[in-house]
Amino acid sequence: MEYRNLGKTDLNLSAITYGAFAIGGNMWGGNEQQDSIDAVHASLDHGVTSLDTAPFYGFGLSEELIGQAIKGKDRTKIQLLSKFGLVWDGSNNGKGEFFFDANDNGKTLPVYKYTAKANIIKEVEESLKRLGTDYLDLLQLHWPDATTPISETMEALESLIQQGKIRAAGVSNYSLDQLKEAEKSISLASNQLSYSMLNRAIEKDVIPYTIENNIGIIAYSPLERGLLTGKYFKDATLKSDDHRNGYFGQFDPEKVKSFLNAIEPLAISKNASLSQLVLRWTTLQPGITIVLAGARNATQAIDNAKAINISINNDELEFINKELAKL
């Protein structure tokens, strides 16, 4: 495994980091809890030391499962990354910015983006309890909240750092302008953003700024939630309540399939899976610090961790990029 410093902090994270959205089950067609715990264990056994989760994932279940998985392990060798700012239980009393209606076993839950100071403090305490720890290595704003001044949110994060509740503060889904505004109040460790072979918009403005200002980029959805594994062009299917039924609709399936067919021989030549080749390519892109990879069982987790061992030379990178340019 490769380990990389996150921005200007002393956090040394695994280049492939475990992404725990899917093990929450909600929006992903459910989950098998023991398989999820096994996936975390397998990740840790194969050099993945960093685990990224959020309260919203499974309405607390993802954090709880990670807490169970790391119980009894050396906490100093594990980096816990979580988030705040999505409220689904009504505790915001209508405050914040309405985001969308989530489905919890047939029950509709209105989700709000809410990043006021009092809510941040509340959410952190809840996350610490679910995770079974007394500090988070990185706390990240989950989605921007237009109803709360950025300065208020950042001041709350700075306070949590001073209290020792978090080691570093980051954001997610922040635009360039939002990053610049936040940096007036705090030195951010990172910005977690959607980034993949099929979604490279942040290369235009955000990545040049983060490189210049030494802010880490945490790339999420590098496999586009499984689309770039190629399995959904073969025999894999989705459950009816899996959000990817709609999510995949933004892509041209024939173009994606043709691209994957073009690069698959390269993966085979390296005795690697398509997903491993895609993950490794992502870790090699300028400005990308760490890459999140989800896994719902031990086999997937091991496959993800071993992606870091693939060697891709400049000619091979150029070949992949030329194929990408056809999309």
The residue annotated as part of the active site, out of 18, 57, 114, 174, is: 57
Give the residue from 289, 290, 285, 293 showing the smallest Cα distance to 229: 293
CB 13 within 8 A of CB 289: yes
Cα–Cα distance, 139 to 167 (Å, whole number): 8
Q: Which residues make Cβ contacts (< 8 Å) with residue 195, sequence separation at least 6?
A: 202, 217, 219, 220, 221, 222, 282, 285, 288
Q: Which residues make Cβ contacts (< 8 Å) with residue 183, sequence separation at least 6?
A: 213
CB 314 within 8 A of CB 308: no
CB 51 within 8 A of CB 42: no
Q: Has 57 been annotated as catalytic?
A: yes
Catalytic residues: 57
